[in-house]
Structure 1
Amino acid sequence: MKRSFKTIDLTMAAMFVALMAIGANITQIAPFMEVGGVPITLQTFFAVLAGLVLGSRVGTLSMIVYAVAGLIGIPVFSRFHGGFSIILDPTFGFILSFILVAYFTGKIVEKNNSVPAFILASIIGLAINYVIGTNWMYYAYKFWAAAPSAFSYKMAWAWMVVPLPKDVILSVMAGLLAHRLDKTVLSKGQFKNLKRTA
């Protein structure tokens, strides 16, 4: 039977909602950091970290709250956007993917808390983010957004080559950081049972 959310769970989830909002807009100081309409942000890093640090249960909660907050109009998405109309945006698939990213990365490290498992979970989370986000972007451009005349599925993936090295590096860093936190801060006091799922 699943336990109810505790105050520490909700507090940590709220912290990651805030981190996601910051990560979504940190590149506003560099407007050129956008490829094919996809802002180069730190959202994937924080979504991966949420699953690794909070576990599948609380990590998923934090990403759901983040998505819902943006959909109801709070400007937490990239470029300080918010509102239900974001569903039609070609980048909305990346936002949806964050929920699964947190869930699956959390599940992996709940079963194996070694350094390789944390890094593997991070890379799998990144892959989920790219597969869902890029496919959503492709179909959005094809069916309801204004696609460039020569736009193709191959081009959609080519656009993702630019942020890929950054995201791979940050995902590995997230894995190493989360493992360190798991063995130090999160192993003590009220954090000790944060990732327990039952």
Structure 2
Amino acid sequence: MVSVAGDLATRTNATIVALLALVGITGLAGGFEAAEPEGFVTVSAPLGENPLEPPVELEVEPFEITIRRAYEKDGARVVEMQVTNTASRPLSPTDFMLGFALKNSGLPEDQQPDFDEAFHRLKEIGEVPEDMFGDQFSLNPAVPMDLAMIFSDPYDGTANGQALEADILYIRSREYRTSILDGTKRWLDGETTAEVKLK
């Protein structure tokens, strides 16, 4: 009489077990890669000149963000928000802007336009920027700032009209850490943790 242990140890059964293990590991790895980062948030900010009721509130390190409205002006996409830097260090305009990317959900990744980006400091809530040029200032710790982020068609004319077609704003965390390139400390990209649908 053949024992159960001996039967399990046969070459056929060992091959089946190995294949099942491989399939399981591959499936898990694929699932982890496809999953969004922990804490990923998807929200909607309908287009229109009227303020959103209620506004869209997000926390993406190191920012607390309140989106008040999103609208179109002179062929550009404008997103009005209040941003508070919760870190202990300021962020330059460039460090801040690198945390945001406007994309068109109808295009594959390799065809996404490279939009011109700027942000305008608002003197009062509800102000519409007179031009599409940005201001230069730092986001200091714990100081709320009212901003209009402006996304325009690429300056080189390669994608005219695409700013108005783009419909998703992705927000990536920014982390102050040591760069592996030169060993200096700087603001670097973290995870993309928020998706704002602009429709």
Q: TM-score range by the shorter chain?
A: under 0.3
Greater helix share, structure number: 1
TM-score (norm 2): 0.25
Larger radius of gyration between Structure 1 and Structure 2: 2
Greater strand share, structure number: 2
